[in-house]
Chain A
Amino acid sequence: MKTARADWRYRLAITSRTLAAAAGGYALAAGFTAALTLGLAPFMPRVEAVLTATMLAWLAYALAAAWAFYARTAWGAWGGTLLPALALGAYATTPQWTQWMGTAA
C-alpha cells in the first residue's frame, strides 16, 4: 500500500483542523448550551433548562469535531464550527443586548 506523504502542508491542514475541532467545537458547544438554555427557560425550571442543554451539548461537540475532519477544507472546518457558534452566541446574549440598548437609549 502506498503511504501518503506527510509534508508540511498536510501537517498544517491537520493542525488547523485539530484546532477547529477543539476550539471551534467548544465554542459551538458552549453557544449551543447557552442558546438552548435560553430557548428552554420559558418552558421549564431554569435548572432543568441548563441540564437538558448541557447534556445535549456534548453531542453537539462530538458532531462539530466530526465535521472538522470531514469538511472539504480546513477553512470549512473553521467556518462550520465558528459561524454556528457565533449565531448561537448572538442569540444567547440577546437579553443582554436588549438590556444594554434599553439603558443606552
Chain B
Amino acid sequence: MNHHMPPTPAAAALHSAKTPKDREGFRQAMSWLHTWAGLVLGWLLFAIFLTGTLSFFKNEFNLWMRPETHGLPAADAHVAPKALAALLRQVPDVTQWIMRMPDERDPAVTLLWRDTGNGRFETLRMNPQTGDAITTRDTMGGDFFYRFHFELRTAQKGRWTLQGRWVVGAATLMMFIALLTGIVTHRRFFKDFFTFRPNKGGQRAWLDAHNVSGVLVLPFYLMITFSGLMIFHTLYMPSGIATAYRGDKGIDSNAYFADLQGEKPERRVRRSPGDKVDPLPPIALEPIVDAASARWHGGHIGALQARRDAEGRVVVEVTRHEGDRLQYRPPRLLFDGITGQWLEQADPTSPAVTTYGVLYGLHLARFAGPGMRWALFGFGLLGSLMIATGMVLWTVKRSARQQTQSQRKGTATTAPRAPFGERLVGAINIATLGGLPLACGVYLASNRLLPIATTHRADTELAWFFSAWGLALLWGLWCAVVRPQRGGWSVPMAAGALVWTTLPVLNALTTQAHLGVTLPTGEWMWAGMDLSFLATGALMGWLAWRLRPGRVPHGRKMAPTGAQHAPAPTHAQEHAHPHHGGHHGDHAGNAAMAPSKAMSGG
C-alpha cells in the first residue's frame, strides 16, 4: 500500500531470519530503522531543531530581551580603549578579558572577564561611544535557545551541560542515521517531491508533507547534522586524537586544539583549579587596533582579547569579524600585550582543517547576512516540520490500522482504546509539537512580566519556560492517555497564539522599545522581532482554529494524534481509499496538515 515505512516490516524481516528468501531486503530494513531512529529521539530532535533554528537569530533575541540596550548610539571607532578603562575601573585585578565589538546586529560592546579566581566569565555590556556600562535586566536572552539547542541547558549556570551534550550527540547521530536510511527508503525523490495531496487527508497528506519537507532541503539537514557531530568531535569521537597526540605524558589534547586553531601550543591559556593568575598590566590598545586594521587592509575587527599564555606572557589577540567569511574561526592576529609588537597570525589553511572550519561556519551561520539568515531559518523550520510530520505519521498509521481492524471485527460502536504506547506517543506529540512553541512564547513573556529586581531572575524566566512545557505535557497526557478526547491540540495552540500575540503588547506596556517607537524610526531589527511574534501568534491561532474540537462534525478523524480514536471507526476506510473529493475532503485534509505547522512558531 505504501512504499514508505511499511508498518513494522522488520517484524517479519527479523523473525523469519532463518529463511533468507522471506526477508524483506535492505530497503525494508532501512525503512524500519528510519521509523524507529526517528521516533525514539524524535521529540528531542524536534526541540533541538526548533531552538537551533531560533538561534540563527540569537543576537536579535538578546536585544529584544534586554530592552535597556535600545537606542544606543552608533559605534565609535575608538571605543575599545574606553571600554577597557571602564572595565578596569570596576575590576582592577582582571586577569583575562574578551571584548566583542559592536556591529550591525549588536550595538553594545560586550565584555567577558575573569579575575584572579578560577570562576566563570562575567559579562559587562557597554555603550559603544562612551564605554560606560549599561545595566540590563538579568536574563539569558537568546543564549538560552542557543545553549538548550546543544546542551539542553536548564538553568543559567546549569550543572549537567556535559551530559546534555552527550544526549544531544546521541540524538544528532539518530538524526544522521534517520536521514541516511530515509534516503535509502526513498528511492523516488523527484516523484515524491512533486507529490503533495493534502486533499486526500489523513495518512497520505502526512506522508506527503513528511516527504516534501524531507526532500526539499535534504542537503541542509545533512550539513547541519554532520557539522553538529563534528563540532563536538573532541567530545564524541576522541580516538583519533588519542592515537595521533599520544606523548610520554599521556594524550596532549592541548597540542591538538592548538593545531586545530592554527596556534602555537604555548600561546594557549592553561588554568588548572587553584591556580593563582597575576592581574594583567596596563595595555595600550589603540596602537594594536591600528596595526591589526592595517594588516587586514581595513578589515572589520570582531573581537579583542587579552590573557596570559602558558608561558605567562601577556598576549592581545585581535579576531576578524565573523561576518567576513564562511570558515570558522575567523583569522586572529596576536600581539605582545606589553610592547604592542605583532607576534603571529593564527589561521590554519590545511585542507581537512579548512573543511572542518567551513562545516563549523555553515552550522553557526555567523557569515550570513539578513537574507541568508532568513533562508537558513526557513530551512530550520522545514526541518522541524519534517520531524513533526514524521512523529505524527507514526500515530496516524497505527490508529488507521487499528480502526480498520476494529471495523472488520464489527465492533464499530465500541471501538477499543488505542494501546498505551500509541496514546503515550500521541500525548508527547501534543506536549512537544504544541507545547514547545507555547513555552518559547511564555519564556519571552516572562522577560517582560517578571519584576526587574527578582532574585535569580534569569533562572526564574527559565522556570516559566519549563513550567509551561510541563503543563503542556500534563495536558497532552490527560487528553491522549487518561481520557482520550478531542481537542488535545487546540488548547496549547490557542494558548500559544494568545501568548505570542500578546508579546508586542506587553512590550509596549513595559518598555520604550515597542512598535510605536521602532516602526516610525525604521528600527527594523527591533520592530522585526515584534512583527515576527505577531505572525507566529497569528499562525498558532489559525492552527488552533483548524484543530478546534467541534470542527469535524461527522466523526471524521480530524487531526490524527493518537488522541481521537473513539468515535471514528466507520470512516476508517476513507484513509485507505479516499474516494470522495470536494469540500469535505479538502476540509479534513487541511485540518490533518495543520498541527505540523505549529513549529513555525518562531
- Taking beta carbons and an 8 Å cutoff, which residues of A are in contact with B? 1, 3-6, 9-10, 13-14, 17, 29-31, 33-34, 36-38, 41, 44-55, 57-58, 61-62, 65-66, 69-70, 72-73, 92, 95-96
In the complex, what's the smallest C-beta–C-beta distance from A94 to chain B, in angstroms? 10
Complex Cα distance A44/B355, Å?
A: 15
Interface presence of B343 (CB below 8 A): no
CB distance from A82 to the nearest CB of B (A): 15
Tell me if B509 counts as interface (CB < 8 A to partner A): no
Q: Within the complex, which residue of B11, B239, B246 is in contact with A31, where a contact is CB–CB below 8 Å?
A: B239
Question: In the complex, which of the residues A9, A17, A55 has the most CB atoms of chain B within 10 Å of its own CB atom?
Answer: A55
B240 touches A53 (CB 8 A): yes
A64 to B31, CA, bound (A): 16
Residues of B within 8 A of A51 (CB): 240, 260, 352-353, 355-356
Interface membership of B72, Cβ < 8 A: no
Q: With an 8 A cutoff between CB atoms, is B176 at the interface?
A: yes
Q: Please determine whether B351 and A48 come into contact, CB atoms closer than 8 angstroms.
A: yes
Indicate whether A3 sits within 8 Å of B240 (C-beta atoms), given known contacts A13-B14, A45-B259: no
Q: In the complex, what distance in Å separates the CA atom of A71 from the CA atom of B335?
A: 58
Q: How far in angstroms is the closest Cβ of chain A from B515?
A: 46
- B533: min CB distance to chain A, Å: 37
Interface residues of B (CB under 8 A from A): 1, 7-8, 10-12, 14-15, 17, 20, 23, 26, 29-30, 32-33, 37, 173, 176-177, 180-181, 184, 226, 229-230, 233, 237, 239-246, 256, 259-260, 348, 350-353, 355-356, 401
Interface centre among B12, B240, B256 (most CB of A within 10 A): B240
Which residue of A5, A9, A49, A61 contacts B240 across the interface (Cβ within 8 Å)?
Answer: A49
A103 to B37, CA, bound (A): 47
Known: A65-B177, A69-B29. A92 touches B243 (CB 8 A): yes
Is B30 in contact with A66, judged by CB distance below 8 angstroms? Answer: yes
Could you tell me the distance between the alpha carbons of A92 and B241 in the complex, rounded to whole angstroms? 12
Contact between B244 and A37, CB atoms less than 8 A apart: yes
Q: A58-B173, A69-B29 are in contact. List 11 more A-B contacts (CB 8 A).
A: A4-B12, A33-B237, A33-B239, A37-B240, A37-B243, A45-B259, A47-B256, A48-B350, A52-B352, A62-B176, A72-B23
Q: Closest B residue to A57 by CB, please name it.
A: B237
> Do A45 and B350 form a contact, CB below 8 Å, given A1-B1, A13-B14?
yes
Instruction: Give the nearest-CB partner of B242 in chain A.
Output: A34
Closest 8 CB pairs of A and B: A4-B11, A47-B259, A50-B240, A51-B352, A37-B240, A46-B244, A30-B239, A34-B239
Q: Which residues of B are found within 8 Å of A13, using beta-carbon distances?
A: 14-15, 17
A44 neighbours in B (Cβ, 8 Å): 350, 352
Shortest C-beta distance, A85 to chain B (Å), equals 11
Give 16 pairs: A residue, B residue, CB < 8 Å, sorted on A: A3-B8, A4-B12, A5-B11, A10-B14, A30-B239, A45-B259, A46-B245, A47-B259, A47-B260, A47-B352, A47-B353, A51-B352, A55-B355, A65-B33, A72-B23, A73-B17
Across-interface contacts of A54 in B (CB, < 8 A): 230, 233, 237, 240
With a cutoff of 8 Å between Cβ atoms, the chain A residues found around residue B350 in the complex are: 44-45, 47-48
Given contacts A33-B240, A54-B240, whether A70 and B26 have CB atoms under 8 Å apart is yes
- Measured between C-beta atoms, what is the minimum distance from B9 to chain A in Å? 9
Q: Of A1, A58, A69, which contacts B401 at CB under 8 A?
A: A1
B-chain residues with CB within 8 Å of residue A6 when the two chains form the complex = 8, 11
B228 to chain A, nearest CB (A): 10
Taking the nearest CB of chain A, how far is it from the CB of B245, in angstroms?
Answer: 7
Q: Are B401 and A3 in contact (CB under 8 A)?
A: yes
Nearest CB of chain B from residue A48's CB, rounded to whole Å: 4
B176 to chain A, nearest CB (A): 6
A102 to chain B, nearest CB (A): 14
